[in-house]
Amino acid sequence: MCGIVGYTGRQAAAAVEPSTRPLEVVMEGLRRLEYRGYDSAGVALVAPGFDQVAWAKKSGKLSNLAAVIDASPLPDATAAIGHTRWATHGGPTDLNAHPHLADDGRLAVIHNGIIENFAELKAELLDQGVTFLSETDTEVAAQLLARNYRSAGNLTEAMRITATMLRGTFTLLAVHTDNPHTVVGARHDSPLVVGIGEGENFLGSDVAAFIAYTKEAMELAQDQIVTITPDSIDIIDFTGARAEGKRYTVDWDANAAEKGGFSSFMDKEIHDQPQAVADTLRGRTDASGHIQLDEIRIDEALLRSVDKIIVIACGTAAYAGQVAKYAIEHWCRIPVEVELAHEFRYRDPIVDAQTLVVAISQSGETMDTLMAVRHAREQGAKVLSIVNAHGSTIPRESDAVLYTHAGPEIAVASTKAFLAQITAAYLLGMYLAQLRGNKFSDEIDALLRELRAIPEKVETVIQRGEYVKATARSMKQATSVLFLGRHVSYPVAMEGALKLKELAYIHAEGFAAGELKHGPIALIDEGQPVFVIVPSPRSRTGLHSKVVSNIQEVRARGAKTFVIAEDGDDTVVPYADEIFWIPQAPTLMQPLLAAIPLQIFAMELATVKGLDVDQPRNLAKSVTVE
Ligand code: AGP
């Protein structure tokens, strides 16, 4: 949930001289990681001759920390660590902000995760006369590390010992004045990647921390300790055995993670959606047009034997899974259950070797989903993850991964990842249908042609966005909005409600349109805004007329109806106060288009209410705590 950065480097070819670079690098990294949490921020610096760590920390956004540093500048340094926080233990206060110091101010520690046994460790340290300034679990880790450092005499060994004493999830970074050219990190369940530079090295929660300086990265596996100096990267596991990190080159550049001229990351990412769908499709068919998913390293015989699919995910990713359910069941004739990961994790699911569990996650770090992945594998299931963030934890703990290629999604509210997740899930469904013989190759080709036509149609819907924005501005006073959809658009209705909740802080609820008459219709009174997603009149589901009837039902009771309908579907005109037209598309492809007006509506309503579109209150981009 938090963002962490570490840096150590030499400036000149010769000796490592203190400079402003460590602080500059860490602050730039924190700026790019702020979407991971922004309750507070802090930095710690070391250099030869320091008898204490130099540090600054402040509650609130990174700009608050920058102001503190401007007011009382920090000294030049040779190594630094930095942290943006999403509060778990202890409120977002200055005292609880990271870094946390120990060893008489000579040691600084930052942390991402939750240490579950911090209370017993704290009690033990208190008994030994240690005093604490904050309410955090991180300060306990800092004091424990200090104690272990005094006995081990080596920061790497002390970190290893400390890591074996902690339970829960943690990525820890530490600097000590005794080793002013060194940063030591440890990871268990929370993410940590190494950035490899020339005469300098980096650590970060994800590659955004150092993408401005290097694209050469190294994955750290579970339960590893990394020690970086300007010219070395050493890795051991928690037993002390030497280990090797897996190098890779980051496939997007620093600019891709910037706003590109848009007013917000979310606006940029809505506009990225045609490319996100196209890139996720790219390279996934062979010369003859057959689906080829090279990265899926699950035995084909096993995939043919799969008799159940369980999708596990949270939030928007879960809604993408629900959309995919309709397609995969229709194409593959395999039952698909969609489970909220945090529910799946704690029930006794019926899972066996013939169950394929599909974990969908943009960040690849969602703790609820990661724990559900582990639970599924313990039960004997194969896990295939559909993830956007390359090198993240969930793919590393899955049997196979199908990456979406949406590029970095910075805005907390997910948009392009949603479309990319549906696209990837559709590719998986077509792959299984092709492998299992449920669909002839010409049928697969037809489906692929429909998918390949989507990016252009997405662009068309985006270009119609101004009308949606004008409607949103007129709804500034709305306090409750309902969203109706049927069949494959029912999850889209729920996604539209989630966007409005998390962006405009308005109560919103998505319903299956057929469910309205079983109770929720009592909510309808004069002027109640209701969005309705109408299937194509050409849809063979027979649902078009029923959904039009649903619009009449709510309109008759005073609702203000906002209808999403296919170009040319004039049947809806008499019953719609506003119509957001989308291009014609096959039934199963409609979610990739219908979601976009809902994204734009929520973004614009949040904007007109003066809210932070990219970093809504109480939220973080990656929920790495259970
Ligand atoms: C979506 O707008 C939300 N930010 C949230 O529901 C998110 O989809 C959920 O936390 C899952 O995140 P993940 O895809 O990174 O696992």
**Single pTM value for the model:** 0.76
Q: How confident is the model at residue 389 (pLDDT cuts 50, 70, 90)?
A: confident
Q: What percent of the chain has pLDDT over 90?
A: 78
Check: CATH 3.30.70.20 for 457-613?
no
What are the structure tokens assigned to 360, written together? 């969908």
pLDDT mean across residues, the chain:
93
Q: Which atom of ligand 1 is nearest to the CA of 417?
A: 14
> Where are the domains positioned within the chain?
3-256, 259-452, 457-613
Q: Which atom of ligand 1 is nearest to the CA of 389?
A: 15
Architecture (CATH level 2) of domain 3-256: 4-Layer Sandwich (3.60)
Q: What percent of the chain has pLDDT over 70?
A: 96
| 57 has catalytic annotation | no
- Residue 68 above 60 pLDDT? yes
- Residue 305 above 80 pLDDT? yes
Q: What pLDDT, on a 0 to 100 scale, did the predictor assign at position 266?
A: 96
Residue tagged active-site, from 58, 439, 499, 621: 621
Q: What pLDDT, on a 0 to 100 scale, did the predictor assign at position 85?
A: 82
The position carrying tokens 């990842």 is 417
DSSP H or E segment with residue 280:
helix 273-281
Are 180 and 79 within 8 A, CB to CB?
yes
What pLDDT digit, counting tens, does each position of 256-298 carry? Answer: 666 666 889 999 999 999 999 998 998 788 777 788 886 687 8
Nearest C-alpha neighbor of 539 from the set 511, 563, 569, 519: 569
| 621 has catalytic annotation | yes
Q: How confident is the model at residue 65 (pLDDT cuts 50, 70, 90)?
A: very high
Average pLDDT over residues 139-146: 97
What pLDDT digit, counting tens, does each position of 474-510 carry? Answer: 999 999 999 999 999 999 999 999 999 999 999 999 9
What are the structure tokens assigned to 254, written together? 């620093």
Residue of 266, 366, 393, 603 to mutate, ligand 1, most atoms within 8 A of C-beta: 366
Q: What separation in Å is there between the alpha carbon of 318 and the centre of ligand 1?
A: 8
Q: What separation in Å is there between the alpha carbon of 319 and the centre of ligand 1?
A: 10
In angstroms, rounded to a whole number, what is the distance separating the alpha carbons of residues 527 and 506? Answer: 16
Q: Which atom of ligand 1 is nearest to the CA of 313?
A: 16
Residue of 86, 266, 316 to mutate, ligand 1, most atoms within 8 A of C-beta: 316
Residue bearing the CA closest to ligand 1, atom 16? 361
Nearest C-alpha neighbor of 588 from the set 337, 281, 324: 324
Q: What separation in Å is there between the alpha carbon of 415 and the centre of ligand 1?
A: 10
Q: What separation in Å is there between the alpha carbon of 222 and the centre of ligand 1?
A: 23
Are 582 and 449 within 8 A, CB to CB?
no
What pLDDT digit, counting tens, does each position of 22-41 carry? Answer: 999 999 999 988 766 678 89
Q: What lines the ligand 1 site, CB under 6 Å? A: 314-317, 361-363, 366, 369, 412-414, 502, 622-623
- CATH level 3 topology of 259-452: Rossmann fold (3.40.50)
The secondary structure of the chain in percent helix, strand, coil, rounded to multiples of 5, reads 40, 25, 35
Q: What pLDDT, on a 0 to 100 scale, did the predictor assign at position 151?
A: 96
- Residue 172 above 90 pLDDT? yes
Helix (H) and strand (E) counts in the chain: 19, 25
Q: What separation in Å is there between the alpha carbon of 116 and the centre of ligand 1?
A: 24
Q: Which atom of ligand 1 is nearest to the CA of 621?
A: 4
**In Å, how far are 21, 33, 44 from 17, measured between CA atoms?**
10, 27, 17
In angstroms, rounded to a whole number, what is the distance separating the alpha carbons of residues 32 and 410? Answer: 9
More confident residue, 541 or 395: 395
SS (H, E, C) 147-199: HHHHHHCCHHHHHHHHHHHCCEEEEEEEEECCCCCCEEEEEEECCCEEEECCC
Q: Which atom of ligand 1 is nearest to the CA of 412?
A: 4
> Is 457-613 in the same CATH topology as 259-452?
yes
Residue bearing the CA closest to ligand 1, atom 6? 315
More confident residue, 298 or 519: 519
- Residue 12 above 60 pLDDT? no
Are 471 and 601 within 8 A, CB to CB?
yes
More confident residue, 308 or 623: 308
Nearest C-alpha neighbor of 312 from the set 394, 404, 197, 431: 394
| DSSP bridge partners of 106 | none
Q: What pLDDT, on a 0 to 100 scale, did the predictor assign at position 16?
A: 63
- Residue 95 above 60 pLDDT? yes
Q: What separation in Å is there between the alpha carbon of 37 and the centre of ligand 1?
A: 14
Q: Where are the alpha helices (DSSP H) in 53-115?
A: 62-71
Q: What pLDDT, on a 0 to 100 scale, did the predictor assign at position 1?
A: 53
Residue bearing the CA closest to ligand 1, atom 5? 315
Residue bearing the CA closest to ligand 1, atom 3? 413
